[in-house]
Amino acid sequence: LKPFWLKGRMMRPAGRGPMAEAASRRCRLLPLFLLLRSTCTVAEEVETVPVVPPPSPPPPAATSAPPRERSRGLILPGPAEPQPSSPRIPRKLVLTSKQASADGLPESVQANLRRNLALDPDMEMRWLDDPACSDYLKEHFGPRFAERLESEPRGSFRGDLCRAAVLFREGGFYIDLDVQLHMPLARLVDNDTTFMAAFTVDGAILNALVAAEPRNAIMAETLRELRRWYDGESSHHPDEEAEKTTNEWMGPVTMLRGLRSVMQNSCPGVQLEQFREEPKWVCGAQRLRFYDERELDCYSGEDSVECPPSRRNAEFAGARFGIFVASSPDKRDLVAWPRFESCEDWGCKGGGWDEGATIANDAETPAPKAEDMNGQDQIPKDL
For residue 189, is it within any domain? yes
* Alpha-carbon gap, residue 24 to 43, rounded angstroms: 9
β strands within 53-194, DSSP E? 70-71, 74-75, 92-97, 124-129, 172-175, 180-181
For residue 368, is it within any domain? no
Residue 12's φ and ψ, nearest 5 degrees, are -70, 125
Give me the number of domains the chain comprises. Answer: 1
Residue 77 pLDDT level (bands cut at 50, 70, 90): very low
Average pLDDT, the chain: 81
Give the Cβ contact number of residue 159 at 10 Å: 29
* Alpha-carbon gap, residue 343 to 194, rounded angstroms: 32
For residue 14, is it within any domain? no
For residue 232, is it within any domain? yes
Is 71 strand, coil or helix?
A: strand
Question: Residue 251 is part of which domain span?
Answer: 92-361
Residue 381 has pLDDT above 70, yes or no: no
**Residue 242: predicted pLDDT:** 93
Q: What is the pLDDT of residues 371-380, one digit of tens each?
A: 444 444 445 4
- 300: which DSSP letter? S
Q: What is the pLDDT of residues 253-288, one digit of tens each?
A: 999 999 999 999 999 999 999 899 999 999 999 999
For residue 242, is it within any domain? yes
Give 1-10's long-range contacts (Cβ < 8 A, gap of 24+): 1/31, 1/32, 2/28, 3/32, 3/35
Is 42 strand, coil or helix?
A: coil
* Alpha-carbon gap, residue 99 to 118, rounded angstroms: 21
For residue 67, is it within any domain? no
Lowest mean pLDDT among 8-12, 142-146, 180-184, 204-208: 8-12
For residue 370, is it within any domain? no
For residue 207, is it within any domain? yes
Q: What is the pLDDT of residues 199-250, one digit of tens each?
A: 999 999 999 999 999 999 999 999 999 999 999 999 999 999 999 999 999 9
